[in-house]
A and B are shown apart, each in its own frame.
Chain A
Amino acid sequence: MKLKVILASIIVIAFVIFGSYSFMESNVEYTDVTGAIAKSKKVQLKGTWNKEKPSAFDPKTSQFTFYLIDEKGKECRVVLDGAAPNNFEMATSVVAKGRYMRDGEYFHASEVLTKCPSKYEAQAEELKKNG
């Protein structure tokens, strides 16, 4: 056996072990409101912004609060550390990363991702409006 090969396999094995460990740790599951409430760990909560309900940025705590409805129609108050992301208003769906706080009955998010509609999926109606 060449020492180079042995050395390489040690590196690769160590790499794979550490890799899968850090992968397991960083993999954040997608879930709905019920799932977020059931789990106490960090999850990604997917849903849409409920525009009917008030949403506001509180400069004192620098947190942004809004209401999210998941695919099953269940609602949840989300408190985000920071301001609403840039494309928040136009997002077709939002994903909040964080954990559910049982004592305050809200979802405490560290980050909110927005999914924006592709401009290519423009509606024919809008085209007529322009024309």
Chain B
Amino acid sequence: MIGEILIKVAFTLCFLSVLSYLLHHLRGTPAALTAGRWLFRLTVVSIVGTAAFLLSLILTHQFQYTYVWSYSSRELSTPLLVSTFYAGQEGSFMLWTVFTSIIGLFLIRHSRKMGYEAQVMSVFGFITFTLILMLIAKNPFTMVWESWPGEVQAGFVPANGRGLNPLLQNYWMVIHPQILFSGFASMAVPYSYAVAGLMKRDYMQWIKPATPWMAFGGLILGLGIMLGGFWAYETLGWGGYWGWDPVENSSLVPWLVCIAGIHTTLSQRKTGGFIRTNFIMGMLSFLMVLYSTFLTRSGVLGDTSVHSFVSPGMWVYWLLICLIVVFVGIAAGMLALRWKEIPWPKAHRQSTMGQFKEYASSREFALFLGASTLFLLALIVVFGTSTPIITDIMEGKKSAIDIGFYAKWSIPFAVAIGSLTGLAQLTWWNRSDRGSLIRALRGPAILGLAGVVALMLLGVKEFGVLLVIFAALFALASNIQVAVRVFKGNPKFMGGAVAHIGLAIMLLGFVASSKYDEQHTVSLAQGIPMETMGYRLTYQGYKPLDNERYAFQVRVEKGGKTYEVAPVMYYSSYNEGLMRNPDVLNLITHDFYLAPLSLEEKGTDSTAVQRAVFRVGESKDVGGLHLTFTGFDLPESHMASMAGGDLKIGARFSVARDGGGARNVIPAKHIQAGKVTDVADRFEDRYEFVIASLKPDAENRKNSTVEVAITDLFKTAEASKTPDVLIAEASVKPYINLVWAGLIVLLVGFGVTIVRRSQEASLKHPLAEEPV
């Protein structure tokens, strides 16, 4: 009750806040501004209150709430217990709403300073309002007897909850969703500023307060994407940091659009270009957040994703569609309304080839190309992720795209992005002097070429790889050159160069770790060393970590050094399945990655059991025996089976070994009162025959088939003397640290940009731009 009331209070307050802000915008009533401000603050109080209430329910184990029962249990540690807050869909929407509303508090102050409060807050308040609407549609305060009416008595309190999926029980779960959702929430700010700019007819200055928020969103969402990749790599054992899964893509797309937007707004500051583009980009990253949410949360992807949620019901599905329609409608409507008023930038004259050449060497053009590349990449990913919807409309059935689709695009995009980040930094605004441009390009280009030649001498032959390496080295050198120069001037202006250095490092890491990783499946008998890829591995046995999980200790020896890895594998009673967590040995220049596959315990030898399918009259050699399937042994009459319901079907095999005499072996299936039991038969007391499957063909007896499983009892007896064998996948991932290091540098670059742009936004007069 309390939770639902609080949500409805927040809903009403937020609605009134939007109305007041709009009133101020339209009529200029001063009281309306104060009212809107306080109403929004009260909205935040009730939203935070709702969240606190849910958290208290979780912490005090109120299992009569379906949500609390579904995701938490008494056994969880406090941090994990807190994280069950957003383990389900309702809670994660609430987390999103909480972050959005808190950002709103800061936005009130920020936009007031800019003279934008009424417009920005009416849009932002409306976004908050729609998120609260989602919570009304699906709130986490349903009682168990409301979830299963008639089956559960009112007032029933379960003794314990179902608990949190063990896959989520690690520190990533504690931090990753929070970061991702604050990234999503911050994307609403550029949208609000863009719409506000159109409302105020301010087409040039809105980007100034919006840019630091775009950089903030880029930083936080980028961090979220990175942690997600690291989670997948280090704990979930997906074998890599990126799998092009819809859930991953859904955070990548808004991020790419946001970054493209940061680049085009930069151009508007300097040359007054891209005014309309910037409105579109400012609004698009938020719209992409909505679209991604729709893709991953509505169940529309169906069975085509590993982790798309099971359908949350029609309510949420249509509400999400409505949200997209409404926010696209606001964006498109406002833009259409003002389109003619928006000034056209002082056009570069490009009517002659000479003028075009001049334009083509300007930084504005390079930025345009860079932003377009990022935007196209985002389009590709959206397109790929939306395949199930597209094929559903076109062909009437859903099908997903193969990951190869993205892989095909990755090399051309890596080359384009690498070379453009290198080039753009060396060009000048408006136009570059050709001589000085070539002089600046020379150093980085020579370095790139030197790298390529060195790799070719080392035996790298793939053209695509060499191109990426060249582009990345070129970008790295030119940006270091720029960074050094800017540092001497004003270190605060280094953001761009630092971010690009990070990007170049990442590109190198991508190529090395994905193109040159090597993997082998190894069978490690306990205590017996085995060599693979230059590593000497010894499986030493397992030990329990807790009442369910086991760590498999493996000694790794390389170049005189000894390391220990302990991948984890266990049967999870929660998931009713085998869970595997890899272990990673980080060796600076490369990672050694060991993912457990299975443990072949004593007494099992998978070759001891052989199977074969026979038609009537067919002969085959199976596991050293010569078999002929001579026919089925059926009851004398069908009447017998119909009368008693008791049926025995035998498969008659003529079996011989090493030229010895043939003997009949007749394994059978016995059907009695609907239950099937296997009746085994033996050959020479060594081979046990069981019918694995029967496919009788009533029309043509000759087409009937039988599958027989033959167990070599000597081998199983022998196997019980051999040690346990750990089967694992060992892989070496060269220079994967470059990916992580590059990402961190990239994000530091974002941080520097936020500081600079927010200081600049709070100044009345624009700062002097960097002396590049």
B160 A22 Cβ-Cβ under 8 A? no
B516 within 8 A of A: no
Identify which of residues 562-617 in chain B touch chain A, using a CB-to-CB cut-off of 8 Å: 575-580, 597-598, 600, 606-607, 609, 613
Contact of A22 among B69, B351, B409, B609 (CB under 8 A): B409
Contact of B692 among A28, A54, A59 (CB under 8 A): A54
B693 A53 Cβ-Cβ under 8 A? yes
A12 nearest in chain B by CB position: B376
A126 B162 Cβ-Cβ under 8 A? yes
Q: Which residues of B contact A126 (CB under 8 A)?
A: 162
B84 to chain A: closest CB distance in Å? Answer: 11
Contact of B521 among A23, A59, A124 (CB under 8 A): A59
A124 B152 Cβ-Cβ under 8 A? yes
Chain B residue total in the interface (Cβ 8 A): 72
A11 nearest in chain B by CB position: B372
A86 B400 Cβ-Cβ under 8 A? no
A119 B578 Cβ-Cβ under 8 A? no
Q: Which residues of A contact B165 (CB under 8 A)?
A: 119
A66 within 8 A of B: no
B303 A93 Cβ-Cβ under 8 A? yes
B89 A120 Cβ-Cβ under 8 A? yes
Most chain B CB neighbours (cut-off 10 Å) among A11, A25, A87, A117: A87
State the main secondary structure of chain B at its contact with A: mixed
Contact of A19 among B236, B380, B725, B729 (CB under 8 A): B380
A22 B158 Cβ-Cβ under 8 A? no
A22 B306 Cβ-Cβ under 8 A? no
B150 nearest in chain A by CB position: A124
Chain A interface bracket (under 10, 10 to 19, 20 to 34, 35 or more): 35 or more
Identify which of residues 337-357 in chain B touch chain A, using a CB-to-CB cut-off of 8 Å: 347, 350-351, 353, 356
A26 B401 Cβ-Cβ under 8 A? yes
A83 within 8 A of B: yes
Most chain B CB neighbours (cut-off 10 Å) among A15, A22, A114: A22
Contact of A59 among B158, B404, B523, B576 (CB under 8 A): B523
**A116-B405 Cα distance, complex, nearest whole Å:** 25
**A23-B402 Cα distance, complex, nearest whole Å:** 9
B635 within 8 A of A: no
Identify which of residues 100-128 in chain A touch chain B, using a CB-to-CB cut-off of 8 Å: 105, 113-122, 124, 126-128
B727 A57 Cβ-Cβ under 8 A? yes
Q: Which residues of B contact A114 (CB under 8 A)?
A: 306
Q: Which residues of B contact A59 (CB under 8 A)?
A: 521, 523, 597-598, 600, 606, 725, 727
A95 B303 Cβ-Cβ under 8 A? yes
Q: Which residues of A contact B409 (CB under 8 A)?
A: 22
B67 to chain A: closest CB distance in Å? Answer: 8
Contact of B577 among A22, A30, A86, A95 (CB under 8 A): A86
If the complex has contacts A28-B399, A30-B399, A86-B578, are A127 and B144 also in contact, measured as CB distance less than 8 A?
A: yes
If the complex has contacts A26-B404, A84-B578, are A105 and B162 also in contact, measured as CB distance less than 8 A?
A: no
Contact of B306 among A23, A84, A113, A131 (CB under 8 A): A113
Contact of B310 among A46, A105, A121 (CB under 8 A): A121
Q: Which residues of A contact B172 (CB under 8 A)?
A: none
If the complex has contacts A28-B402, A89-B578, A118-B310, are A128 and B152 also in contact, measured as CB distance less than 8 A?
A: yes
Q: Which residues of A contact B89 (CB under 8 A)?
A: 120
**A124-B71 Cα distance, complex, nearest whole Å:** 15
B237 within 8 A of A: yes
Q: Which residues of B contact A22 (CB under 8 A)?
A: 405, 408-409
If the complex has contacts A62-B727, A105-B613, A127-B148, are A89 and B709 also in contact, measured as CB distance less than 8 A?
A: no
Contact with A along B503-517 (1 / 0, CB 8 A): 000000000000000
B69 A83 Cβ-Cβ under 8 A? no
Identify which of residues 29-87 in chain A touch chain B, using a CB-to-CB cut-off of 8 Å: 29-30, 42, 44, 46, 53-54, 56-60, 62, 82-84, 86-87
A90 within 8 A of B: yes
A19 to chain B: closest CB distance in Å? Answer: 7
B356 A3 Cβ-Cβ under 8 A? yes
A115 to chain B: closest CB distance in Å? Answer: 5
**A87-B405 Cα distance, complex, nearest whole Å:** 25
B356 nearest in chain A by CB position: A3
B607 A60 Cβ-Cβ under 8 A? yes
**A8-B303 Cα distance, complex, nearest whole Å:** 37
Q: Which residues of B contact A86 (CB under 8 A)?
A: 167, 236-237, 577-580
Which residues of A are interface residues toward B (Cβ below 8 A)?
2-4, 8, 11, 15, 19, 22-23, 25-30, 42, 44, 46, 53-54, 56-60, 62, 82-84, 86-90, 93, 95, 97, 105, 113-122, 124, 126-128, 130-131
Give 27 pairs: A residue, B residue, CB < 8 Å, sorted on A.
A22-B409, A23-B401, A25-B405, A26-B404, A26-B405, A56-B609, A57-B597, A59-B597, A60-B607, A62-B597, A83-B727, A86-B579, A90-B575, A93-B303, A95-B303, A113-B303, A115-B303, A118-B309, A119-B162, A120-B70, A121-B310, A122-B162, A127-B144, A127-B158, A128-B151, A131-B158, A131-B159
Which residues of B are interface residues toward A (Cβ below 8 A)?
63, 69-71, 88-89, 144, 147-148, 151-152, 156-162, 165, 167, 236-237, 303-306, 309-310, 347, 350-351, 353, 356, 359, 372, 376, 380, 383-384, 387, 391, 397-402, 404-405, 408-409, 521, 523, 575-580, 597-598, 600, 606-607, 609, 613, 692-693, 709, 725, 727, 729
Cβ-closest 5 pairs across A and B:
A89-B577, A26-B405, A118-B310, A83-B597, A62-B521
